[in-house]
A and B are shown apart, each in its own frame.
Chain A
């Protein structure tokens, strides 16, 4: 019989953090309320809790589609048959696979989203790393050093052959189905806060462009705006929207205003003891003020050693920007933020990783921007004992075609690609699942994108299946399946 971790009502209500549309509820704690009423008022009462393995998630998203074959999924056959068409290799039948039908194209686009059938050789060498001997390409030399902590999932697939797949990766739904809550917002909704001074779902880097989901890749949709991701800028002077006082208001002046506001609201709260919204609003102002104070500290690196800063590559032009974001990510999870979503490669359109041409130049440069910072993050987390409770996820919306496009690039590829995870109760030094010899289809232990969501939720202690809201239909596939095989 399934044992459930029972959460007391008080716990549940205290655990609401930034996402606290139910602050009003917290105010009612002192009144006697029946259990039935409680579950009617807060749909989260129906969430099934399990013992959590991780407390926080750092979600790294490469915009545009990173080549799996030039990163984490070596395919010697591509070198062997370079220049030949698929039909001329022993693997010509990949195009007849029923998996081809999983593709849902949005609209015909003559420039991309095609199966390219002339084999394009690997543009980079691979080597074996660590005790596990995990194979990782030479464009990821720093990450290679963390191989024994990585779990490569080489058998991902998605539906959208165009960059709407960026949205799909975050909501689990194809772009033409519309917008849905994103994985970060589900986490924010399902989990309580560990730190009331900070938002629980933070977004860094320039997000996906409007072509491909835009703000909807970190919004909460029907869960409500309290669960939206909050964009954070690495600028201690102006890190959050509306979290900076107007330039001509003194700090002392604003503090006295906040203080006096609290006194005035308290008078109203005393006059209307039955109106919970006043107390909820008072608490929200306290939180807002603390947030306004706390957030600049998170993005200010005064207290980090030079050694730390250098390890993230903040001293070098090429790695500075992403390095700052990685260091901030660590500082955020250190302070109890639940979900940190970091974008890399925004270019106002499909994304920089979208290597239809010049794959070698492009990818090697982009890898350089993120490789050292990501590795530094993993090492830093580990050294501080945080990696065990922090789940790091690295992903891109899809992979790239084994065949060539415009002589030196690869097209979009939804049929097989790689995502990796590290920490947070995930086994390190393993590769799970496989694509075929060409790197075309995921063939072994296939995983749709929501399996990543389910795994994240499961490690955080939420049974994904129980994330439902009355009146909001979720399809069976929206829930995904936790990948049991990769868990410690």
Chain B
């Protein structure tokens, strides 16, 4: 067994062992193609291939290998072990070894053996071997030229189908016919809205015999707001939507209130905002429309990358996912070294990073007239216009090459002829001094005024009370002075002198306290107004003498306010101490602790107050606290330049990447398999013509997403049945097992959100409220809103979602549905599924006049959106009969059990009329719907629950 550990020991030591025969395989040209070539491609081609050929060496064809490097041959056919290529891969020193440390993992012993065997057998290779294409020839870097539609034929409905038909004909594939209408209706309804069709919708669709019924329904579905919720979630996957994550109150990633960006996504889709505009708003909304909340919130795309501990991680994520999401480039691979496959140098990585270097995230004050925000929301802005970007040696942030700042740019060697033009963007005052806008000022002043009003009311009320009880208690003039906040120093002295006299302290009336609160509120208002005046003068007025005077006034007012504020704190602490002393707390220990705490607070308050009013100028405020935070007066315009480069009609990647994402979500499989990498590692897709035609059409339509949806769901390819006659299936399956050429529809499992939302929908318990703050991930069984609105972040995801393969908040360009027992447990045992099926059953049972066969028909329609076949109907009816019988016996037994020994119900057979679960916290909080007491009704409920667990309930066929 011990030879197995070879990979963990220096390879040189194992030369002899390693050079044993790699396998019993025939060493011929086929061996080269199947073993040697893939090995070299994985380990060497990045540096010795068409993109870069270091030392003049290319290893992508046998001819190149035989030719050797600029220093000479690398093979010694007669003495294979002397071959330079073998020596270099076996080199012990990691820096001289090939691939060198940091560029790749050393070859395993058996991999070395492959190379050696091949050399030993005199390097056999196929006669005609194509070299790997260079970047200039790569399919995805070619301009998108709208392919000419193939000659229309009788069967092809659309251009897309025409292209597909050609490929099918070439492969002798006969496509399946269109699905039946019910299957189609379920397919488009779930696909476009994430919810199944209702019974009424099914009825109306079946009744509509018009030849355009399907198209009309598609149009209707696209116009529903549920379209945005469904497709919003798709784009949230691609754009890495994440609510804030963190520990307790600390935000560690993303941002609070980032749900505004989620709402922007959903609303933008429903408005059918052009895709290019969406990209521009997400990357540079602050540069194109700096005062528009509706646009600014789009920059949540950037704010989402916030990372509390590490700016490099923050920017790395921004770089990586901007490139992957919009242009399908894995520029992240070039962080530590040049890209292995694509013409992206390490410097390109940092050029791209420099685009984002100046930006940060901030939350602006809420404007009174904001159309969307009652809370603030995170937004991007350029904070540091001169922030420099350095190349990190091997990507190590501890090794920046300082002194050589890297200028922002798109990757230089990409064969994409679009210029990257940066020009800085001047910003309006309200953008760089958001607090000094009239609305914000007014909001702040109104808030302060409101506080004064409330204080005044409290004084009035207190005065009334006082007069009614005992006027004498407010006897001393001290209190009046104290309440008016006059003669501050004097008051303090008095406070000090009075401190020991507990009785006097106790006598300080509520009225005096309320008056003190009022004077604090008024002082605060005055101070605020003067601070605004001083700030406005500072930024907008040139008269320095007048400005200085305003500043001095603001300072004086603020000091006065601070003094009263600290005095109020003393009074508050005094009252708290009194109430602690008088408290009815019986536990002496607790009481003493409370008193102790109150005493400490009082002492602290007194110290602070003393400091506040102290004559010592060093303890005092030196300048007023400005109300305005001032941000840069311009933005670099780099992000806007990037956005414009991305959405330029000449960019060959943007539209192709987007079309591929949309296609993949309609059809279940993408046209380009690796949806975030359109680089050279990704071979030309079989249906490139389809991709290109759609990409061109997308751009020509003004990046109209709904237009694209209409085209796609209108194709024959989309509308095909997923199953046909066994003979047909067998033949086609052999030709194209993976359905690469769309000869049938793909069966797909519902996404996590669709599963939960479907349960809610069929139970008629869905709460259709739109938008708003993220809902706790723990409330998935109680809160009946659509799943897209629940918190979705690291460590904070609904369990039910995770089990059904919801997107990872970190990265999910494509979901991978699984089939696992936990999913079965969720649907079998969740309160949600049980409640929904019980409500559903009762409703239908009533609506079908309590006729079992009608009930079953209708139940199938509502849950699986198809009628039962004959066998299913029979089986359901006998199940219903059995269950009804059984429930009748149970009910009878319960009655007799209850009569004999009422207090000991058997644990395994709870009474049919089960005890209500614990009372909910609020009445609006749904709880488990109890089972029906009527035996037939309960049987119906069982049957409905079975159908919610049916394979077809979570599938689109």
* Chain A residue with Cβ nearest B834: A246
Q: Which residues of B contact A252 (CB under 8 A)?
A: 886, 909
Q: Which residues of A contact B931 (CB under 8 A)?
A: 248-249
Q: Which residues of B contact A274 (CB under 8 A)?
A: 723, 729, 733
* Chain A residue with Cβ nearest B723: A272
In the complex, the answer to whether B7 meets A465 with C-beta atoms within 8 Å is yes
Tell me how far the C-beta of B25 lies from the nearest C-beta in chain A, rounded to whole angstroms.
Answer: 13
Tell me how far the C-beta of B99 lies from the nearest C-beta in chain A, rounded to whole angstroms.
Answer: 12
Task: Tell which of B7, B723, B808 touches A221, judged by Cβ atoms closer than 8 Å.
Answer: B808
Instruction: Compute how far the CA of A211 lies from the CA of B914 in the bound complex, rounded to whole angstroms.
Output: 41
Q: Which residues of B contact A248 (CB under 8 A)?
A: 910, 914-915, 928, 930-931
Q: Which residues of A contact B869 (CB under 8 A)?
A: 267, 271
- Please tell me if A394 contacts chain B, counting CB pairs below 8 Å: no
Task: Tell which of A51, A216, A291 touches B1, judged by Cβ atoms closer than 8 Å.
Answer: A51
* Chain B residue with Cβ nearest A287: B821
Binds B, one of A54-62, A257-265, A336-344, A426-434: A257-265
In the complex, the answer to whether A21 meets B3 with C-beta atoms within 8 Å is no
| Interface flags, B1-39, vs A, CB<8A=1, else 0 | 101111110000000010011100000000000000000
In the complex, the answer to whether A265 meets B805 with C-beta atoms within 8 Å is no
> Given A250-B909, A256-B883: A242 and B822 within 8 A (CB)?
yes
- Please tell me if B794 contacts chain A, counting CB pairs below 8 Å: yes
* Chain B residue with Cβ nearest A465: B7
Binds A, one of B118-126, B143-151, B942-950: B942-950
Instruction: Compute how far the CA of A421 lies from the CA of B113 in the bound complex, rounded to whole angstroms.
Output: 36
- Please tell me if A476 contacts chain B, counting CB pairs below 8 Å: yes
Task: Tell which of B6, B747, B829, B917 touches A277, judged by Cβ atoms closer than 8 Å.
Answer: B747
| Interface flags, B791-832, vs A, CB<8A=1, else 0 | 000110001001101001010000010111111111011110
In the complex, the answer to whether A285 meets B820 with C-beta atoms within 8 Å is no
Q: Which residues of B contact A18 (CB under 8 A)?
A: 820-821
Q: Which residues of B contact A397 (CB under 8 A)?
A: none
- Please tell me if B247 contacts chain A, counting CB pairs below 8 Å: yes
Instruction: Compute how far the CA of A6 lies from the CA of B803 in the bound complex, rounded to whole angstroms.
Output: 32
- Please tell me if B572 contacts chain A, counting CB pairs below 8 Å: no
- Please tell me if B468 contacts chain A, counting CB pairs below 8 Å: no
- Please tell me if B924 contacts chain A, counting CB pairs below 8 Å: no
CB under 8 Å from chain A, chain B span 904-957:
908-910, 914-915, 917, 928, 930-931, 942-943, 945-947, 949-952, 954-955, 957
- Please tell me if A23 contacts chain B, counting CB pairs below 8 Å: yes
Q: Which residues of B contact A210 (CB under 8 A)?
A: 246-247, 795
> Given A2-B6, A216-B794: A251 and B908 within 8 A (CB)?
yes
In the complex, the answer to whether A211 meets B950 with C-beta atoms within 8 Å is no
> Given A176-B310, A210-B795: A243 and B747 within 8 A (CB)?
no
In the complex, the answer to whether A215 meets B795 with C-beta atoms within 8 Å is yes
Q: Which residues of B contact A247 (CB under 8 A)?
A: 910, 914-915, 917, 928
Binds B, one of A111-119, A223-231, A318-326: A223-231
In the complex, which of the residues B4, B22, B247, B313 has the most CB atoms of chain A within 10 Å of its own CB atom?
A: B4
In the complex, the answer to whether B822 meets A256 with C-beta atoms within 8 Å is no
Could you count the A-B residue pairs with CB atoms below 8 Å apart for me: how many are there? 205
In the complex, the answer to whether B818 meets A226 with C-beta atoms within 8 Å is yes
* Chain B residue with Cβ nearest A216: B795
* Chain A residue with Cβ nearest B7: A465
- Please tell me if A83 contacts chain B, counting CB pairs below 8 Å: no
Q: Which residues of A contact B820 (CB under 8 A)?
A: 18-21, 225-226, 284
In the complex, the answer to whether A263 meets B875 with C-beta atoms within 8 Å is yes
Instruction: Compute how far the CA of A24 lies from the CA of B113 in the bound complex, rounded to whole angstroms.
Output: 36
Task: Tell which of A281, A287, A476, A481 touches B951, judged by Cβ atoms closer than 8 Å.
Answer: A281
| Interface flags, B602-621, vs A, CB<8A=1, else 0 | 00000000000000000000
Chain B: residues with Cβ within 8 Å of the partner, total of: 87
- Please tell me if A309 contacts chain B, counting CB pairs below 8 Å: no
> Given A246-B834, A256-B886, A272-B723: A107 and B308 within 8 A (CB)?
yes
In the complex, the answer to whether A225 meets B818 with C-beta atoms within 8 Å is yes
In the complex, the answer to whether B726 meets A285 with C-beta atoms within 8 Å is no
Instruction: Compute how far the CA of A214 lies from the CA of B946 in the bound complex, rounded to whole angstroms.
Output: 35
Instruction: Compute how far the CA of A258 lies from the CA of B1 in the bound complex, rounded to whole angstroms.
Output: 47
In the complex, the answer to whether A264 meets B928 with C-beta atoms within 8 Å is no
In the complex, the answer to whether A482 meets B309 with C-beta atoms within 8 Å is no
Tell me how far the C-beta of A405 lies from the nearest C-beta in chain B, rounded to whole angstroms.
Answer: 22
> Given A224-B816, A226-B820, A268-B952: A1 and B726 within 8 A (CB)?
no
Q: Which residues of A contact B247 (CB under 8 A)?
A: 209-211
> Given A21-B818, A241-B799, A476-B105: A264 and B824 within 8 A (CB)?
no
Tell me how far the C-beta of A293 lies from the nearest C-beta in chain B, rounded to whole angstroms.
Answer: 12
- Please tell me if B882 contacts chain A, counting CB pairs below 8 Å: yes
Tell me how far the C-beta of A98 lies from the nearest C-beta in chain B, rounded to whole angstroms.
Answer: 14
Q: Which residues of B contact A240 (CB under 8 A)?
A: 825
In the complex, the answer to whether A24 meets B733 with C-beta atoms within 8 Å is no
Q: Which residues of B contact A285 (CB under 8 A)?
A: 821, 824, 828, 949
- Please tell me if B897 contacts chain A, counting CB pairs below 8 Å: no
Q: Which residues of B contact A176 (CB under 8 A)?
A: 307, 309-310, 313
| Interface flags, B861-894, vs A, CB<8A=1, else 0 | 0000000010110011001001100100010000
> Given A225-B820, A267-B871, A285-B824: A246 and B110 within 8 A (CB)?
no
| Interface flags, A372-396, vs B, CB<8A=1, else 0 | 0000000000000000000000000
- Please tell me if B272 contacts chain A, counting CB pairs below 8 Å: no
* Chain A residue with Cβ nearest B681: A471
Instruction: Compute how far the CA of A101 lies from the CA of B537 in the bound complex, rounded to whole angstroms.
Output: 52
In the complex, the answer to whether B822 meets A249 with C-beta atoms within 8 Å is no
In the complex, the answer to whether B949 meets A261 with C-beta atoms within 8 Å is yes
CB under 8 Å from chain B, chain A span 184-242:
209-211, 214-216, 221-222, 224-226, 228, 230, 240-242
In the complex, the answer to whether B821 meets A291 with C-beta atoms within 8 Å is yes
In the complex, the answer to whether A288 meets B824 with C-beta atoms within 8 Å is yes
- Please tell me if A9 contacts chain B, counting CB pairs below 8 Å: no
In the complex, the answer to whether A463 meets B951 with C-beta atoms within 8 Å is no
| Interface flags, B239-261, vs A, CB<8A=1, else 0 | 00000001110000000000000
* Chain B residue with Cβ nearest A106: B309
Tell me how far the C-beta of B906 lies from the nearest C-beta in chain A, rounded to whole angstroms.
Answer: 10
- Please tell me if A179 contacts chain B, counting CB pairs below 8 Å: yes
In the complex, the answer to whether A214 meets B795 with C-beta atoms within 8 Å is yes
> Given A225-B820, A242-B830, A471-B674: A282 and B951 within 8 A (CB)?
yes
Q: Name the 10 nearest CB pairs between A and B, nearest first.
A: A248-B914, A288-B824, A288-B821, A21-B818, A242-B825, A214-B795, A211-B247, A287-B821, A280-B819, A226-B820
Interface residues of B (CB under 8 A from A): 1, 3-8, 17, 20-22, 105, 108-110, 113, 246-248, 307-310, 313, 674, 722-723, 726, 729, 733, 737, 747, 749, 794-795, 799, 802-803, 805, 808, 810, 816, 818-826, 828-831, 834, 869, 871-872, 875-876, 879, 882-883, 886, 890, 908-910, 914-915, 917, 928, 930-931, 942-943, 945-947, 949-952, 954-955, 957
What are 24 sample pairs from A and B whose C-beta atoms fall under 8 A apart? A3-B3, A21-B819, A37-B737, A50-B1, A178-B810, A216-B794, A221-B808, A228-B802, A240-B825, A241-B822, A247-B914, A248-B931, A252-B909, A261-B946, A261-B949, A264-B875, A272-B723, A274-B733, A275-B747, A278-B951, A282-B951, A285-B949, A288-B824, A465-B7
Known: A176-B310, A289-B824. 7 other contacts (CB 8 A): A1-B110, A107-B308, A176-B309, A210-B246, A253-B883, A268-B952, A281-B819
